[in-house]
């Protein structure tokens, strides 16, 4: 007990309160996932009614949840889309740590992985984000990067990163996920959020991610995922001459460090096969639904692990 107090007092940041963690469900195949959905059809349907009630409540009185990303209570803030629908995945931003629901889910999971392996090195394919800043402050062994070519933008993004992290010595790192600069087995944990769908040759990126992870290394990914589709839908293709062929109407995603990025893929369950082919021993879809943690709607991520 004495040492726990001593350690806490020496920590550069107060340790987050232990608010617990939401239970996650793991799905290793589309068949198992569909079977689960069928068996729990009524329960899953009832979730929608609970979400509507919470949204209605939050419109007239503060609704509190536990943010396990920063470790403390938070008030539910709804950013509603047209028609009054709530985007539970991309909104519900915590007023304290500024992370939306998707990133609170993923950051909380990464923090758990990092705590289970003291000293683990984490590589995030983002640096100019609140998620990176939070993890960097909490665990020193975090490396982040962005993918930017424009020199003027690099300067501005570097300043923004120093503002976010409060570290005046931090500089912007540039990486291409299909050609990472790191030696083999440089990290124990790697996380990439909403990046893979913008990489024309995503299989090459997955091989690079497997390469820079050591034995037993863990990967956490989010990207547009079609839980009803076995196959990945290719929306656009990069041709050998460098031109882009659009196979579906172009879809651009908002990006904190650019004006919008073309989406090349919406992934299906074959992404798990691609991960195994890239060198991961296991690959699963993980899901969470936990109103007490402000995690509702469909919250999914992909987790993979090297042997």
Rounded to a whole number of angstroms, the CA Rg of the chain reads 20
| 70 part of the interface to Zn ion, by CB under 5 A | yes
Total residue count of the chain as it appears in this document:
307
| 93 part of the interface to Zn ion, by CB under 5 A | no
Closer of 105 and 123 to Zn ion (Cβ) = 105
| 295 part of the interface to Zn ion, by CB under 5 A | no
Structure tokens belonging to residue 90: 């991309």
Closer of 69 and 257 to Zn ion (Cβ) = 69
Contact 181, 207 (CB under 8 A): no
Task: Give which of 163, 189, 177, 170 is closest to 106, Cα–Cα.
Answer: 189
Name which position in 96, 141, 186, 234 contacts Zn ion (CB under 5 A).
96
Distance CA 217, CA 219 (A): 7
Note the Cα 128 to chain centre separation in Å. 14
Helix (H, G, I), strand (E, B) or coil at 285: strand
Instruction: Choose the stretch contacting Zn ion; rule: CB under 5 A; options: 87-95, 113-121, 165-173, 181-189.
Output: 87-95
Closer of 27 and 130 to Zn ion (Cβ) = 130
64-67 and 25-27 strand pairing? unpaired
Cβ 74 to Zn ion shortest distance, Å: 5
| 94 part of the interface to Zn ion, by CB under 5 A | yes
Closer of 97 and 275 to Zn ion (Cβ) = 97
Distance CA 190, CA 306 (A): 11
Closer of 114 and 196 to Zn ion (Cβ) = 114
Cβ 70 to Zn ion shortest distance, Å: 4
Task: Give which of 82, 84, 103, 83 is closest to 92, Cα–Cα.
Answer: 103
Cβ 21 to Zn ion shortest distance, Å: 14
Name which position in 69, 109, 128, 223 contacts Zn ion (CB under 5 A).
69
Helix (H, G, I), strand (E, B) or coil at 134: helix
Closer of 236 and 295 to Zn ion (Cβ) = 295
Name which position in 92, 97, 122, 263 contacts Zn ion (CB under 5 A).
97
Interface residues toward Zn ion, by CB under 5 A: 67, 69-70, 94, 96-97
């Amino acid at each position: 007990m004495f040492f726990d107090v001593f350690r806490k007092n020496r920590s550069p940041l107060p340790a987050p309160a232990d608010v617990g963690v939401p239970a996650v469900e793991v799905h290793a195949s589309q068949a198992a996932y569909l079977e689960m959905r069928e068996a729990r059809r009524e329960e899953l349907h009832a979730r929608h009614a609970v979400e509507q009630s919470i949204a209605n409540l939050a419109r007239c009185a503060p609704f509190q949840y536990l943010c396990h990303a920063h470790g403390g209570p938070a008030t539910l803030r709804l950013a509603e889309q047209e028609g009054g629908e709530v985007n539970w995945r991309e909104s519900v931003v915590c007023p304290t740590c500024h992370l939306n629901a998707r990133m609170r889910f993923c950051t909380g999971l990464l923090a758990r992985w990092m705590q289970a392996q003291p000293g683990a090195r984490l590589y995030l394919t983002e640096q100019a984000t609140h998620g990176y800043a939070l993890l960097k402050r909490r665990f020193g062994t975090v490396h982040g990067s962005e993918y930017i070519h424009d020199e003027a933008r690099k300067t501005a993004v570097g300043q923004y990163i120093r503002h976010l992290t409060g570290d005046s010595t931090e500089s912007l790192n540039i990486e291409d996920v299909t050609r990472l600069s790191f030696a083999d087995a440089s990290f124990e944990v790697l996380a990439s959020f909403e990046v893979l769908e913008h990489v024309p040759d995503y299989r090459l990126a997955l091989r690079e991610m497997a390469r820079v992870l050591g034995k037993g290394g863990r990967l956490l990914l989010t990207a547009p995922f079609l839980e009803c589709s076995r196959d990945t839908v290719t929306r656009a293709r990069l041709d050998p001459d460098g031109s882009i062929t659009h196979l579906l109407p172009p879809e651009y995603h908002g990006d904190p460090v650019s004006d919008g990025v073309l989406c090349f893929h919406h992934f299906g369950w074959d992404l798990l096969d691609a991960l195994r082919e890239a060198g991961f021993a296991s690959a699963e879809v993980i899901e969470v639904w936990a109103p007490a943690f402000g995690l509702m709607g469909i919250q999914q991520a992909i987790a993979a692990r090297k042997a």
